[in-house]
A and B are shown apart, each in its own frame.
Chain A
Amino acid sequence: MTTVAPCFEPAVGRYIAIDVEGRRNRVYVEQAGEGIPLLCLHTAGADSRQYRALMNDERLLSQYRVIAFDLPYHGKSSPPEGWERDDYLLTSDRYVATVMKVIKALGIDRPIVMGCSIGGRAVLHLALRHGPKFRAAIGLQSGLHAESVFNAQYSDEAIMNRPEAHGGEMCSMLISGLIGPEAPHKDRWETIWHYMQGGPGVFAGDLYYYFDDGDLRNGLVANIDTAVCPLYLLSGEYDYSAPPEAAEEVARHVEGAKYSLMPGLGHFPMSEDPERFLGYLRPVLDEIRARESSVAA
């Protein structure tokens, strides 16, 4: 009898239980690699699969422990008990508390935190409120706030979740134009697929943080101490929701923040065109490692 070794990818997924705002959440966490922890936050209405390419990049995994989790209600994470009676709304406090609870549950020490879109906003909140707990923060498609000419339609009781609409098709359609035109076909449609799988009201609930509650035009980001938590901002040029100008605005408000444009990419760099994105990410990670080494020395 011949036995065949299983062809598993490097990532291993497990569940943790965390309490956030008094409610128990079963949260799915994936990780791969060894080294400096790199905690990755997904975009609104999506899940940790957006980081699938990083979880498979041998070079990255030889130096970093790449960790990604699904926010409650997203991906393989369950909503808390009683969800069926509530409208899901992501607030700044809830988002920050969730990330910090995940870090505590995993026992990871001073990770680099990297997030995209709402995650790109969250890294600002995290650096602001818990800077010493992070080695560095990387904001992808970050901005102090976001607006849309379709805001009235989005907020019209979340048009994508009306009973007469197909929520998955609607949510995915709303983001499909945010992908750069040269993204590989496979990765473009996988990114879109993730949005087709969101639960009812989840994308809209995340957009509450993106458009409303997470608004950072209050001057607070000036208090981010980049000597404690260096802040890097990477922005895809095809993103019209969190455009490069939005990241530039953040960089103007945070002394020491470093901003770079990512030509050819849109709103989902790590998912829509992973190889191109890794080309922009590696120098940032190298710089963070070099800084760590010099501090340690």
Chain B
Amino acid sequence: MPSTEILDALNADPSVQRRLRFANCVLRIETGDQRWLLALRDGKVASAAADETADVTIRIAPEAWAAFQQPVPPPGCHDIYAMAETGRADVTGDFLTLFRYSYVLKDILQQLATGRMFG
């Protein structure tokens, strides 16, 4: 489960609020032994119930996740799509949902990794 600080930072952001106005989906993010199941719903990011089914699952190689946390990540580890395109992450599920909410996904990943926003 993400920290309250992370969820608060995400939900206080105007662009996250705008992008999630009509969202109703669940994202699963996994790297190493870390797991986050997040609901994008009611205009906010929140922890999802453990039995909810994910619309999109993102699995990131631990080495790539560590590199992503560096102040200047190396090529191939600087973005979730860079990781996916270079075989460092695996993305499965409903791609329309993924592409619709990818800016928020990027904010979530940046918050989880560095405490910053993508934007």
Contact = CB atoms under 8 A, between A and B. Distances in A.
Interface of A: 148-150, 153, 156, 159-160, 162, 164-166, 169-170, 173-174, 176-178, 180-182, 189, 237-238, 240-241, 243
Interface of B: 19, 72-73, 75-76, 78-82, 84-86, 95-96, 99-100, 102-103, 106, 119
B95 A150 contact: yes
Contact of B95 (A153, A176, A240, A243): A153
A165 B103 contact: no
Majority DSSP secondary structure for residues of A touching B: loop
A169 B104 CA distance: 12
A74 B67 CA distance: 37
A169 B72 CA distance: 26
Pairs A-B, 3 closest by C-beta atoms: A177-B79, A177-B81, A240-B85
Contacts of B76: 240
A173 B99 contact: yes
B85 A149 contact: yes
Contacts of B79: 176-178, 181
Nearest to B84: A149
Given A169-B103, A181-B72, A240 B96 contact: no
Contacts of A174: 81, 99
Give the residue among B19, B79, B103, B119 with the most A Cβ atoms within 10 A. Answer: B79
Contacts of B73: 181
Majority DSSP secondary structure for residues of B touching A: helix
Contact of A238 (B78, B103, B119): B78
Contacts of A181: 72-73, 78-79
Nearest to B68: A181
Given A181-B72, A181-B73, A182-B72, A240 B99 contact: no
Contacts of A182: 72
A165 B94 CA distance: 13
A169 B102 CA distance: 10
Given A150-B95, A241-B85, A165 B100 contact: yes
A189 B119 CA distance: 8
Contacts of B103: 169, 173, 176
Nearest to A156: B95
A148 B85 CA distance: 7
23 contacts: A149-B84, A149-B85, A164-B96, A165-B96, A165-B100, A169-B100, A170-B100, A173-B103, A174-B81, A174-B99, A176-B102, A176-B106, A177-B79, A178-B81, A180-B78, A181-B72, A181-B73, A181-B78, A238-B78, A240-B75, A240-B76, A240-B81, A240-B85
